[in-house]
Amino acid sequence: MIGRTLSHYRITAKLGEGGMGEVWRATDTVLNRDVALKVLPDEMAADPERLERFRREAQAIAALNHPNIVTIYSVEEADEVHLLTMELVDGQSLDQMLPPSGFDLERLFPLTIQIAEALASAHERGIVHRDLKPANVMATGDGRVKVLDFGLAKLAEPEAEDAETQLMTRDGMILGTVPYMSPEQVQAKPVDHRSDVFSLGILLYEMATGGRPFRGDNEASLISAVLKDQPPSVTEVKADLPNHLGRIIQRCLEKDPERRYQSAKDVRYELDALREEVEGPSRRFQTIEELKAALQQATHRSDVAQASIAVLPFANLGAEPENEYFGDGLAEEIMNALAQVDGLKVIARTSAFSFKGKSQDVRQIAQVLGVSHVLEGSVRRSGDRLRVSAQLVAADDGAHAWSERFDRPMTDVFAMQDEMAAAITMALRGRLGVPRAPARQYVPDIDAYESYLSGRIHLNQFTPEAFNRAKADLDRAMRADPSYAKPHAELALAYFIRGMHFMQPMREVAPFVRAGVTRALELDPTDPQPRFVLGAIALAEDYQWADAAEHFAASMSGPHVPGHARWIYASLYLRGLGRFEESAAEMRRAAEQDPLNGTWQAIWAAHLIDANRVDEAMDIAHRSIDIDSTYFLPHNMLGEASWAAGRRGEAVAAFERAHALAPWFAVTSGWLAAAYRLTGRDDRADALLDTMGPTSRPLWGRVLYHLLTSELDAAADWYERMIEERDPFALLYARTPTTGPLRAHHRWHRLSELMKLPG
């Protein structure tokens, strides 16, 4: 074959072969690029069933659009040869690069997370790989993973299940690679995406340890091992691996599909959360120089002569890594106490904690965050003793404005925090005129406090598993101290955020939100957090605008307004009323409090688009991408701003990047499908719409598509469904320019009444 030309492809080298055909490197002489050709052997092409499987591989891959899945270019026939042209991946397969003892964690996490992301994207489109193994995973020189060979993929169409199973098991043939197959697969039973989860578990095991979990001298004994054996935990094979990694892999390898993770996305969430526990919250920036170059001018910073402080997470010097949460929690408690000081700007958690685990000069950190002072420290727990060292560093000269060491019993932790807050504000008073820190209102039970800290740290991981752990911790705190208000308020906010992010329906979380904030306010009427959550649920669930306004006003009158409060107030209330300049100003304040929070930056851009400040919105979207280019929302906002500016080509490119990063986000899908339709790419629009089933959330993606394509009756249908389901996006977009055509439609009057829109 080498040297032969098929159509306009000149074959230059053989790359490999498998049950589905041979793979060759070739040069596309028309486009002058190298590609991979999969050629079906003559004897297989003569078999109608095998030929159909070959075509199905092309269909399966073509339906996918993800940076971690190989791209298909075309299906062709030349000189009676059937071939598939694909992206040529320059790199090594995992079986070529896997060390004898497995990858170290620094290499393991990026690789495994990308594999899980690729599978999650395929599963969301009803596609099962069926042959996941090291040879089918490539890694490029820059660390990008590409999952190859969906030749055994099965489109999950129930009506075709019987015929599919018969085809796959004809003459007793079991498709797949036995060492990486699930129990249901080796028994030739029907499989779904959970079979890939099992194969992913095998792959994770091998990547972590260098060896496979199931072994046998022959195929029969190997199949028996897959069906019956319980492999040793990876921590038994390799003692320095995290215990939770062993639990993740063990759950993937459950024999019963019902007991496994139910989606590859859940595995990805777990791996990412574990990576953060091991490496720290942020690994995006390895040096301060990287961060400064990427951030540039992330927000319009205030003059650093203003009294301002960043509280870094306290380093855990103890022998027990599970106490890491205590150092983080202690820093947050100091942060929250200082935030109550009138006139003192306190950088929020996301930005301050971006530097966790990095040995950086605090003066440079202060320069990046735009603050006058930085507080850093360490904590060591030994039995019931707590040893804390802290120092307040001035950004202008690096001098210690204050430092102290504490050695106290755990029961004195609250007095110690109060002393620290008072000492810090006293030091700042001399330099910047900051008033005293307010006195503590309530001293909780120490066990309740520890459970509360642990729960709050879990909530910051923002995964379903972490939420369950957080709820258990917060429930434990409530039982330990029934008069402690903060666990009730924290859990209520967590439930509301779940509703806002479609992790649970808003109507389902509403009772938990109301119960939590009601109890929190009974215990502590001075805490502003329950008030803004109460306003949020009054608006999102009952459309009670006047009540919401009262609660928001009460919660935002103090010296410190949390970023979540500004986001909810700006997005649900101000934006819902069409007060876009005010909503943009609120999001600007949130971004200034938390300058490395890419979410606040991206949402700020959205509000600027509404206010017709499109150039500013594009600038902010670019800055948000600088902070984290792997986050989908800034790319989506850049697309929306570019579309509003009439730059359709740039908009489509931005939407495509956002969709590749988050194919599950229906808003991006709606924008991209409409953009394809309006730029004459109907086939792509149709394919994308096919992936947006009635369960895709937010429903605004459907409304958006029909609005942009001038199908107003359909847009009204979907909008009414949003309102019925209490989809928060119904409020977010009620008065935006995008819904202008719908507001001129005869059905808007009813939609407006359903949302009780004022005016």
Q: Enumerate the active-site residues.
A: 131
Strand runs (DSSP E) across 383-534, as ranges?
Answer: 385-394, 400-409
Q: Residue 321 phi/psi, 5° resolution?
A: -65, -25
CA atoms within 13 A on the CB side of 215: 7
Look at the chain and count its residues: 759
User: Integer distance in angstroms from the first to the last C-alpha of the chain?
Assistant: 74
Q: How are the residues of the chain apportioned to helix, strand and coil, as percentages rounded to the nearest 5?
A: 55, 10, 30
The C-alpha angle 392, 395, 400, rounded to 5 degrees, equals 35
Give the separation between CA 291 and CA 514, rounded to whole angstroms: 41
| Element holding 511 (H helix, E strand) | helix 506-523
Q: Residue 700 phi/psi, 5° resolution?
A: -55, -30
Give the separation between CA 747 and CA 759, rounded to whole angstroms: 17
Q: Residue 117 phi/psi, 5° resolution?
A: -65, -40
- Residue 650, SS3 per DSSP: helix
Give the separation between CA 318 and CA 639, rounded to whole angstroms: 47
Count of Cβ atoms closer than 10 Å to residue 356 Cβ: 20
Give the separation between CA 636 and CA 626, rounded to whole angstroms: 14
Give the separation between CA 111 and CA 161, rounded to whole angstroms: 33
Does residue 444 have a cis bond before it (omega within 30 degrees)?
Answer: no
Kindly state the greatest CA–CA separation across the chain. Answer: 88
Single-letter amino acid code for the residue at 50: R
Q: Mapped to the 3 state alphabet, what secondary structure does 257-274 carry? A: HHHCCCCHHHHHHHHHHH
Give the separation between CA 731 and CA 574, rounded to whole angstroms: 10
Sheet strands side by side (includes 9-18): 5-6, 9-18, 21-28, 33-39, 81-87, 72-78
**Residues contacting 748, CB < 8 A, separation 6+:** 716, 742
- Residue 183, SS3 per DSSP: helix
